[in-house]
């Protein structure tokens, strides 16, 4: 039982490049979330999903897209990366309490 996993763990992008972050959970949770964490800001919600095939915007959705084609996977896409998207990205899933993945450290130069 791996819980919540995220790939990749680290990534460096150049401005304008695109990438997809993958989150996978094996706990059969309905709800999944993508957050970013920046120094002094706490975790902020980017997008979330309440079930397979659904997505919704969170607090800071601009510049990101998401998809939930399978219940166990939640993908976060950056179409054209910007330096302001340099951050640590955490995925979480839940029925009641949230369980987090180990994070992806993304640097955009």
Partner 1 sequence: RKEVEQDPGPFNVPEGATVAFNCTYSNSASQSFFWYRQDCRKEPKLLMSVYSSGNEDGRFTAQLNRASQYISLLIRDSKLSDSATYLCVVKVGNQFYFGTGTSLTVIP
Residues that bind partner 1 (CB under 8 A): 31, 33, 35, 40-45, 48, 50, 56, 58-59, 90, 96-103
Q: 12 vs 82, which CB is nearer to partner 1?
A: 12
Question: In the bound complex, what is the minimum distance in angstroms from residue 5's beta carbon to partner 1?
Answer: 11
CB 42 within 8 A of CB 59: no
Phi-psi map region of 96: left, alpha, beta (phi>0 left; psi -120 to 50 alpha): alpha
The two tokens of residue 68 are: 């939930």
Strand partners, 89: 36, 104
Rounded least distance, CB 102 to partner 1, Å = 5
15 versus 54: smaller Cβ distance to partner 1: 54
């Amino acid at each position: 039982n791996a819980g919540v996993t995220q790939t990749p763990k680290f990534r460096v992008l150049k401005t304008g490049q695109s990438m997809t972050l993958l989150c996978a959970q094996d706990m059969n949770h309905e709800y999944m979330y993508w957050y970013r964490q920046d120094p002094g800001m706490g975790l902020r919600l980017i997008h979330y999903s309440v079930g397979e095939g659904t997505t919704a915007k969170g607090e800071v959705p601009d510049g990101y897209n998401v998809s939930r084609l399978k219940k166990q996977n939640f993908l976060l896409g950056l179409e054209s990366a910007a330096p302001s998207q340099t951050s640590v990205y955490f995925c979480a899933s839940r029925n009641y309490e949230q369980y987090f993945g180990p994070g992806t450290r993304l640097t955009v130069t």
